[in-house]
Chain A
Amino acid sequence: MSIFSGMTVKAASENQKQFVFDQAMLLTDTERTELESLAVELGEETETALLVLTLDGTDGKDIKKYVEDYYDDEAPGYDQPFGNTAILAIDMEQRDIYLAGFKKAEDNLDNATLDYIREQITPALSEGDYFEAFSTFMHESAYYLVDDPANLENDYDYSGIADSRNEYIEGNSSNGMLGLLSHWGFQLIVSIVLAGIVVSIMVFQSGGKVTVNGNTYMDKRNSKIINRHDRFIRKTVTKQRKPQNNSGGGGGITGGGHSHSGSRGKF
């Protein structure tokens, strides 16, 4: 099957028709169909096109550049060209992974979130469990893309730190009605907690507080260290590779001028 020749969606179509582009032939037909329908279902709830690209080599391009060019050339999007899009691309030759978020997905799936999702799916990819990795990508992305994850209509078990991650994202999204609203809730909670702490301190201290400390009663002339030693025992040095520039801190601007968030790594 020729994948890219089938991409007549372009500007002509309002909606993304295909979501899984399995160039490297990693999926069975059933799996592909299942992922396609999952992408349609989650796409509607998140108003975002969730794309999966599997590649067998990238024509010598860096995978990040490849994904950027892909967005520029194919103009994917949920309801319009160059619209809300989250892309997972893996290259079997270099064993590279790249995740990118455009438009709404750039806000909700920032670099840190994409890093997190990438870490979630890397083990499955390494083991060759591609279907599992791709569906996890779609579910996890959807989780951060919707306003209220509780409304997601399926029984996927979202990973544990999602709540704290979600707050983090709320704190970071600075534009878009969605981000703003959830931002409010977050601010409200912070304000209420703060007020609660201050008022409790006020109530607690209304009966008078202790105003003496160790210095009040200490006889400073005679209170001192009489004898001391500090003996050096041993030294250990551990080293750790510096985080690579391209891993984690992804994102950037495509040749076509579209900014995006991103995360890259190996599997």
Chain B
Amino acid sequence: MILHYKCPNCGGDMSFNADTGSLSCPSCGNEENIENYPENLMSASFEENEVKEYHCDNCGAVLLTEADTTATNCSFCGAGIVIADRLAGVLAPKKVIPFTISKEEAIIAFRKWCRKGLLTPKGFMSADRIKSITGMYVPFWLYDLNSDVDVTASCTKVRTYTSGDYIYTETKYYEAYRKINLDYVKIPVDASEKMNDELMDKLEPFPYEQLKDFKTPYLAGFISEKYNYTDSALLPRAKDKISDYVDSFVHSTFAGYHSIHYRDKNIDTRAVRSDYVLLPVWMVSYDYENQEHIFAMNGQTGKVVGKPPISKGKVALWFSGIAASSFLALKCVSFFMGGGFF
């Protein structure tokens, strides 16, 4: 089933407006509140494989979509289309963070980011070769994880003192035990096969206070995909993401000891819950010297990630600049020390 939002006033194609957070009509300016929009995808059921081909509700053209696409724009008339049967049942997202950065703002923010690059080539800094910029709702799993930690460690405290002609080193040995409960909530793991995991991890944090109950109109005018991996398939990655956090927390509970030797460390991490959510990402494709560079921007915070081209000249300039100035600084220090101050 195809969802398409027509303006009840003028019949224009409505799409989600990142500035106002509502479904709006670009023709007459009509705004519809999304949160009160009636919809129940959870209970809706569509027969599987019923439709292999979708037709645009607006113009009737065949929609060219990939198997994972859940929202797109009709390539003929441009109307925002949501493919509802790919968002129903187990594929229904629980929550969504809507875009607050519009396309225009995203372009401006990206240009600004390009100018700030200290090592990027001059031609790149002007940011005038943006090939495409796409607003995308990326499927994520948000995990609530509970870790049950049991550790036993041999620890020492060392004290030195002098008495008479001797220096005494006193070492006290302890057996220390900790039982720790750790709760981590809403650990995001991207569930799309296409998205680079490293890039998505760097986009964090997403402002969770902006999480809204999922409604299809949020997707109108944007691209969206369904998840490729289930929550149980991605649980190891979620656990992996918090393992360092757990380790450093455990370590912090032994503050005050000079040496810690873990004899027995048992970390049992379980998923308490996992929610399927859609998070807003602007994907920027940029052509520089016949090479395509992909950047991602957090659709809420505007944080940009992605490897920009590196100018060898600028690297050399920075390198020699830092080397020369630190050499000079060292020279001064030694001059003053040699000059009798030390």
Residues of chain A whose beta carbon lies under 8 Å from any beta carbon of chain B = 174-175, 183, 187-188, 190-192, 194-196, 198-199, 202-203, 206-214, 216-219, 222-242
For residue B279, give the distance in angstroms from its CB to the closest CB of chain A: 14
Measured in the bound complex, the distance between the Cα atoms of B169 and A202 in whole Å is 44
B288 contacts the other chain (CB 8 A): no
The 6 closest A-B pairs by CB, nearest first: A208-B305, A214-B245, A195-B323, A219-B183, A174-B338, A191-B327
Q: Taking CB as reference atom, which chain A residue is nearest B241?
A: A217
Whether, in the assembled complex, B320 has its beta carbon less than 8 Å from a beta carbon of chain A, the answer is yes
> Which B residues from 291 to 342 make CB contacts under 8 A with A?
303-308, 310, 315, 318-324, 326-327, 330-331, 334, 337-338, 342
**Is B172 close to A, CB under 8 A?**
yes
Contacting residue for A208 out of B120, B304, B330, B331, CB 8 A: B304
B334 engages A210 (CB within 8 Å): no
Q: Are B183 and A191 in contact (CB under 8 A)?
A: no
Interface centre among B170, B305, B326 (most CB of A within 10 A): B326
Q: How far is the CA of A62 from the CA of B49 in the complex (A)?
A: 103
Q: How far is the CA of A219 from the CA of B146 in the complex (A)?
A: 10
| Category for how many chain B residues contact A | 35 or more
A206 pairs with B170, CB closer than 8 A: no
Asked if B205 is at the interface of the complex by the 8 Å CB criterion, the answer is yes
CB distance from A250 to the nearest CB of B (A): 20
Given the interface pairs A207-B306, A240-B169, the reply to whether A233 lies near B249 with Cβ below 8 Å is no
**Docked CA distance A195–B323 (Å):** 5
What's the Cα separation between A188 and B342 when bound, in Å? 22
Please tell me if B175 contacts chain A, counting CB pairs below 8 Å: yes
Contacts of B305 in A (CB 8 A): 207-208
User: Which residues in window 136-158 of B have CB below 8 A to A?
Assistant: 154-155
Inter-subunit contact B253/A192 (CB<8 Å): no
* Closest residue of A by beta carbon distance from B307: A207
Q: A237–B171 Cα gap in the complex (Å)?
A: 6
B178 touches A235 (CB 8 A): no
Main secondary structure of the interface of A (DSSP, over half): mixed
* A223 cross-chain contacts in B, Cβ below 8 A: 180-184, 249
Q: Write the nearest CB–CB distance from B235 to chain A, whole angstroms.
A: 15
Q: Which residues of chain B have a CB within 8 Å of any CB of chain A? A: 117-120, 154-155, 162, 165-187, 201-202, 204-205, 242, 244-246, 248-249, 253, 303-308, 310, 315, 318-324, 326-327, 330-331, 334, 337-338, 342
Contact status B177-A174, CB under 8 Å: no
Instruction: List 6 other contacts, CB 8 Å, given A211-B204, A217-B186.
Output: A191-B324, A202-B318, A217-B187, A219-B184, A223-B249, A237-B170
Given A199-B322, A203-B119, A239-B167, A214:B248 Cβ within 8 A: yes
A191, A217, A225, A233: the one within 8 Å of B323 (CB)? A191
Hey, which chain A residues are within 8 Å of B205, CB to CB?
Answer: 211-212, 216
Closest A residue to B320 by CB, please name it.
Answer: A195
The listed residue (B174, B244, B308, B326) touching A207 by CB distance below 8 A is: B308
- Which of A174, A198, A218, A234 contacts B322 (CB under 8 A)? A198
Chain B CB count within 10 A is highest, among A214, A217, A230, for A217
- How near does chain B come to A249, taking the closest CB pair, in angstroms? 16
Q: Report chain A residues within 8 Å CB of B202.
A: 207-211
Within 8 Å by CB of A235, from B172, B245, B307, lies B172
For B334, the chain A residues whose CB sits under 8 A away are: 174, 183, 187
Q: Which residues of B contact A236 (CB under 8 A)?
A: 170-171, 173
Q: A174-B334, A224-B180, A231-B176 are in contact. Are A206 and B117 (CB under 8 A)?
A: yes
Would you give 26 A-B contacts (Cβ < 8 Å), ordered by A?
Answer: A174-B337, A187-B331, A190-B326, A194-B326, A195-B326, A203-B315, A208-B306, A210-B201, A210-B202, A211-B204, A213-B245, A214-B249, A218-B182, A223-B180, A225-B253, A226-B181, A227-B177, A230-B175, A231-B174, A232-B174, A233-B154, A234-B173, A236-B170, A238-B171, A239-B168, A241-B167
